[in-house]
Structure 1
Amino acid sequence: MEWWSAIDGIQDTPFNGATVKIGFLNPMTGPIAVYAPGFGVAANIALGMMNTAGWGNGLQFEMVMADSGCDGTAAATAAQTLIDAGVVGVVGAACSGATMAANAVLSAAGIPMISYASTNPGLSDAEAYPNFFRVVPSDALQGPALNAVVAADGGTDVALMYMTNDYGSGFADAFTAAHGADNLCASIGYEETTTDFTSAVQQVIDNSCGSVVLISYAADGAAIVEELSTQGFSGQIFGGDGVAEEGL
């Protein structure tokens, strides 16, 4: 860091304090990799602010980034990599399944983690996921909120289409509990790797559903919207946070 004084002008000042390593689980590969650069930029902005504030207190922070892959296996491996690197805490992961798997590794080592995007309701269980924190609300809140939006906008004969991963299933359960399972026109789950939604959308058409609720990521959500249009669906389409892409 550079300092200025009237006597010596601008000079580099050596740092003589402690450097603390913070881990960052970023989904650089996988279904939401498109968001990883933005997550990384935000993390670096925060790091710069922390280091500016910490300099005078003898603290500097170093970020160690690892790829969580939006996948449990990849995230567990990444978590161990961060432990081996000597981090004292971890930011992430983004995807709920990745966070759950990483927590098993990190909590065993006594390392806390705080997620910026994982919303599965189960993560609120402090016994199952010790030393876990998050800065986003649980889908136990988002499910009823989305149901309220559907009701306020006059959505009827709702077809629920959702990913069956940890994010999608948890969110879908919360929405279904609020809406009522018997009140759904159809409930259609699909693997997050699905790319052909012809048969899934056909169920919406065959059941004469009047509106669709999507619990998906942006890419699969866009594919579903396109297939709904192709098959002549003209009802309302609602979505949660995972499909909140500007292009949609």
Structure 2
Amino acid sequence: MYRSRSAAIAACTAFMLAIAGCGSTGDTPEDIPAGPVRLYGSDGNMINSFGEAFKDQAGVLAGMKGTTPLTPLSDDFKERLRSIDANLGDYIYSGESYDAVVISALASQLAGSTAPSEIAKYINGVTTEGERCDTAKDCLTLARAGKDIEYRGVSLKRGGFTDAGEPSTASYATLHFGSSDRLDDGKTEFVGAGDESSTTTKPAPAARPADGGGDAQSGAPLKIGGLLPQTGDLALANPPLAAGTALAIRDINAAGGVLGKPVEWIDGDDGTNPEKAKQTVASHVNAGVHVIIGAGASGISRAVLPDVVNAGLILFSPCNTDAGLSEIDDKGLYFRTAPSDLLQGKALADVILRDGPQHIAIVARKDSYGQGLQDNVRAELEKAGVNAANIKLLTYDPPEDPAAPLDFSGGAKEIKDFKADAVLVIGFGESANVIKALVAAGVELRH
């Protein structure tokens, strides 16, 4: 069930102002005794596979909670994902990856071309002001007939895309780790965020259905390349991304493909590493790819976007959330189905404020995703009445070698001395070492 975001923030604001009236938010660390610390996380670590890093410290994550962009997924969709990957244990961004591929295919069909510059003109319009459809098959049927469509698939349920090529609204899940260091689905809550009025009002170009002129005219087959985190710090989040894209390709081709031919998928790894990602982009350019799905991390997309734009291709990420990407110079070739962290910042602040913390530490990996979300959460907390002096910001450099452990012992000591009673950890797989460092420093975690 969705509940009003404005109401939630207003309630939290009133709560924090009430605390401020009693003087507690003005207390310094020296004024209060050290107490148990509540752990919070974000989409990069609020997944079941994150718990596997604590096999030798069972129960450490019990009680940790956080947010992730996540639409309530139907049992049918989950079952179809498991037909792709029988061992799938997480679903984060699976809907977004599915929708990114389907939207790209629909835009190509409407454009009557695989030329990236033409496809890009239709992407936003696929999500707005047309005949509503919610399956690849139904939408492709309409697109082939030259009908204007409004795609409402798995993750895109309410508003369409904004002028910037991203969702105007989103659904967030509040997730909780249980005693087995796995997410307790029974405690998951969903809330809506965003504003449908920010959906683009620019009219889409008229559909140009293919007329059977052949490959020379349309450029078919449409080639879509993957740029997803098969390796590196974000590899733990790759299985649902891979399953979502594979399912979309299967559904599109089962419905007759695009422009009369099956869509081709060319796999590729971003390595959660700029250099690896650049190599993959170069490979896709040589292979004649039209649309690249990825990258996994916002910072990786920032690193490769100039190469993608110079090649005249589309970069379409299912999981980039860096708010700054909304205004990046992309020549109209960058899109995402993941919502901006301006929305997640509000959702995370809400989750933290419900527990009435007095001293909050926010730890983030030092990149555009981590620092961007850290700043958004800090701003939302301060808007809600939390004294800036009671918020401590720390960052860390992710190890260049994913196999190398992250040393956060110094940061853990700072958090202990700060007497934080809430710690938000924003990172990927490597952020498990932040939590382990807190335990090693003698910080008592509230379970």
Query: Does TM-score exceed 0.5, indicating one fold?
Result: yes
Structure 1: any 5+ residue segments left out of the alignment?
1-15, 238-248
Give the equivalent residue in structure 1 for 2:164: none
With CA pairs under 8 Å and 6+ residues apart, which has the higher RCO, 1 or 2? Answer: 2
Correspondence for 2:440 among 230, 234, 237: 230
The residue aligned with 1:90 is 292
Alignment correspondent of 1:74: 276
Write the distance in 2 (CA, Å) between the matches of 1:151 and 1:66: 40
Residue in 2 aligned with 1:26? Answer: 228
The residue aligned with 1:213 is: 424
State the match for 1:115 in structure 2. Answer: 317
Does residue 1:152 correspond to 2:330, yes or no?
no
| Structure 2 residues without counterparts, runs of 5 or longer | 1-213, 400-404
Q: If the length of structure 2 is used for normalisation, what is the TM-score?
A: 0.46
- For residue 96 of structure 1, report the CA deviation from its aligned partner: 0.7
Q: What is the CA distance between 1:154 and its match in structure 2? A: 1.7
Rate the CA distance shift 1:235–1:38 in 2: closer, same or farther, 3 A. Answer: closer
User: How far apart are the structure 2 equivalents of 1:210 and 1:81?
Assistant: 48
Residue number in structure 2 paired with 1:42: 244
Letter in 2 for 1:192: P
Aligned to 1:127: 329
Q: Give the one of 393, 407, 410 matched to 1:187.
A: 393
Could you tell me how far 1:76 is from its partner in structure 2?
Answer: 2.2
| Offset at residue 40 of structure 1 (A) | 2.3
Q: What SS does structure 1 have at the residue aligned with 2:256?
A: helix
- Which amino acid counterpart does residue 229 of structure 2 have in structure 1? P
Residue 231 of structure 1 deviates from its aligned partner by 2.6
- SS of 2:320 mapped into structure 1: coil
Deviations 1:120-146 (A, max 9, x none): 111111535631111111112111221
SS at match of 1:54: coil
Give, in angstroms, the shift of residue 94 of structure 1: 0.7
What are the Cα deviations for residues 194-230 of structure 1, in whole angstroms up to 9, with x where unaligned? 612211110011111121111111x333222222233
State the secondary structure of the residue aligned to 2:347: helix
1:176-211 Cα shifts (integer Å, max 9, x gaps): 222238244421111112612211110011111121
Give, in whole Å, the separation in 2 of the partners of 1:161 and 1:68: 24
Alpha-carbon RMSD across the aligned residues, in angstroms, is 2.3
1 or 2, which has the higher strand percentage?
Answer: 1
1:201 aligned to 2:407?
Answer: no
Alpha carbons of 1:69 and 1:231: their partners in 2 closer, same or farther (altered >3 Å)? same
- Shift in Å, 1:59: 2.3
Q: Which amino acid aligns with 1:84?
A: N
Match of 1:137, as an amino acid?
Answer: P
- TM-score, with length taken from structure 1: 0.80
What is the aligned partner in structure 2 of residue 245 from structure 1?
none
